[in-house]
Amino acid sequence: MFDFSKNLKKLPPYLFAAIDDKKSLLRKKGVKFLDLSVGDPDIPAPENVVKVLSKSAKIKSNQKYASNKGKSQLRKSIKKWMKKRFKVNLDEESQILPVLGTKEALAHLPVGLINTGDYIITPSPGYPGYRAAGVLSGARVYQLPLLEKNNFLPDLEKIPESVKKRAKIIYLNYPNNPTTVSAPRSFMKKVVKFCLKNKILLVWDNAYSEIYYDKKPLSILQIKDAKKVALEFHSLSKTFCMTGFRIGWVCGNPDAVNILAKVKSNVDSGIFGAVQDAAITALDKNAAYVTNLRKIFNQRRKYLLEALKKAGFKKFYANSTFYVWAKLPAPFKSSLEFSRYLIEEEKIVATPGVGFGKYGEGFIRFALTVDKSKLKNIFKKKISDLDI
C-alpha cells in the first residue's frame, strides 16, 4: 500500500544496518565472531558521568521538555573546553548549539539551506550519513574523491565550476573516518579560502579530534576567517565513549548555528536534561579519561597492525581515530568479496571500503573496538597466500 519516497529510493541500505543484519544472522546460527565493524567502543563511559546521569534523571525539571538551545551551563562548558583544547573563543549564545548526537545534526542541517538544484559536496570515501543528508534534503550530491595518492585530501581545484556555483555545503571530516589521516594546517587554510570565495558552508566534522597518536588535530575554527564560513561538529560519543547517550554540539558561524537551531526547533524538543548534566561532567572533569582512552586505542592499534602484517597485508593507515584503513591483500580486488571472505572463513566482521563511497573500493576498515587480547592472532591463514 505504501512506498518509499523518490529521495529515499535513491539511498542504498544504510551500511551499518546491513552489517548489523549479517551479525544477527550469525548469532542466530550460533556462530562466534570478532566484531571489528562499527565504531562503537566497548570501553565504559566515565564512571562519574554515569553517576551524574542516574542522579539527574530523578530531578523533575530534567524530566520535562528541554530547551532546544541546551542548558546554559552546558554551552558554557563547551565554550570552556573549546578554549582550553583549541584556544578558540566562542559566544555561548550565538555560536554554540548542543545537539542530539552529531548524526542527526549533520542530516538536519541541509533542510535549512537547500533549494531545488543546489549541490552538497561529500567526501568519498566518507561517512555515509553525509550523502544521505544530501539525498534526503533533495540536493544534488557531488562525490569528492579522497585519493591515496593525495594522502586522502581532496583536490578542490578539480570540483567542476557548475558544482561550485550551486553548492551550499561541503562536508569534510579530519581526523578522517575511514582513512584515519589528519588534515595539515596548509590544507585547512586552503579549504577556508575556497569556501569564502564560493560562498559554501564548510561543515567540519571533528568527531575524532581527541583520538590521535602523534600530533594533536586542529579545529577548523583556529584558521583565520573560518568563523565566517565554517560550522564544526563535535561528538561526546567518540571522546568519552558515550555513543548511546546521543549528545554532541555544533559551533562556529552564528548564521549557520541559527539555521540549524530553527530546523531542530521544528523536529525535536531538546536533549534530555540528565544527559546534558552528564555531558557537563564529561567535559569539565574527565581530561585524564581521554588521555587513558588514547593509550588503550594505541595499544590495540599496535596489536592489530602486527596481526595484519602477519596475514599478508602490505599497506594500511592508522594515523588517528580508532580505525585501521587497510588496502586489500592480494589476490582480492573487491572489498565486498573480501568482507564476505572474512566473515565466512575468518569469522571477522569488518567494513568494506566501497560502503563509504566508490572511491573507498580496494580497502577494508577495521575498528579497534575490542580488547587487545582478541587482536593478537585473529587470522587463521596467511591471506596473501590464498589461491582465489
CA atoms within 13 A on the CB side of 288: 4
pLDDT tens, residue by residue, 227-240: 999 999 999 999 99
* Tens-binned pLDDT, residue by residue, of the chain (388 aa): 899 898 888 887 756 566 677 777 777 777 788 999 888 999 999 999 999 999 999 999 999 999 999 999 999 999 999 999 999 999 999 999 999 999 999 999 999 999 999 999 999 999 999 999 999 999 999 999 999 999 999 999 999 999 999 999 999 999 999 999 999 999 999 999 999 999 999 999 999 999 999 999 999 999 999 999 999 999 999 999 999 999 999 999 999 999 999 999 999 989 999 999 999 999 999 999 999 999 999 999 999 999 999 999 999 999 999 999 999 998 899 998 999 889 888 999 999 999 999 999 999 999 999 999 999 889 887 876 665 5
Which residue segments constitute the domains of the chain, with CATH numbers given?
6-44+288-385 (3.90.1150.10), 47-286 (3.40.640.10)
Give the Cα separation of 240 and 283 in Å (integer).
Answer: 9
> Letter for the amino acid at 146?
L
In whole angstroms, how far apart are CA 302 and each of 24, 249, 253, 277, 296?
29, 31, 39, 35, 10
Give the Cα separation of 326 and 306 in Å (integer).
Answer: 13
373: cell is 587480547
Residues 6+ apart with CB under 8 A from 312: 329, 330, 382, 383, 384, 385
